[in-house]
Structure 1
């Protein structure tokens, strides 16, 4: 275990990765959601919860912000 100050860790992470730790987490959640959306055996609201989003609205906002399309549009195009 390390004794990094959270702010210090966040600044090191951002310097190394180019994005904040939270942005990285959201990106990883959206990548997982993309895989689940391709399978089409779960509703979009179920995928939102499985990927760690509080609700479908927040999931849709973050998904569109990163991909440029809504989860529904992404699923229909795949």
Structure 2
């Protein structure tokens, strides 16, 4: 499931969808995932999106809007809010530093 999540970060990854691929109930999947990974599936997806965004902002000449779309955020404002929460600076600030 980790590979599926990482391969589909640009998509809307719902708990029900991921659990269906694993062929177990969403509640059971969330429980197993948290037990093995230490965090909830949604938190893991968000963390992966932010990490991918950091890579894209540092290595490519993409705009913040393009990066937010490539990592699956529905809006740039939500992306900026989440990125700042996890990293401590805005995506634009991070891009300028790298």
Q: TM (normalized to structure 1)? A: 0.90
Query: Which 5+ residue runs of structure 2 have no aligned equivalent?
Result: 1-20
Of 36, 44, 50, 2:70 maps to 50
Kindly provide the CA deviation profile for residues 16-57 of structure 1, in whole angstroms up to 9, marking residues without a partner as x. 111110111111111111111013411101110011100101
C-alpha distance 2-74 of structure 1, shift in aligned 2 (>3 A):
closer
RMSD: 1.4
Tell whether 2:43 aligns with 1:23: yes
Segments of 5+ residues of structure 1 without an aligned counterpart are: none
Q: Per the alignment, in what secondary structure is the counterpart of residue 61 of structure 2?
A: coil
TM-score norm. by structure 2 comes to: 0.73
The CA deviation string for residues 42-76 of structure 1, in whole angstroms up to 9 with x for no partner, is 11011100111001011111111111111011111
Q: Does 1:35 align with 2:60?
A: no
- In 1, the alpha carbon distance for the partners of 2:77 and 2:51 equals 17
Q: Determine the C-alpha separation between the residues in 1 that align with 2:57 and 2:22.
A: 37
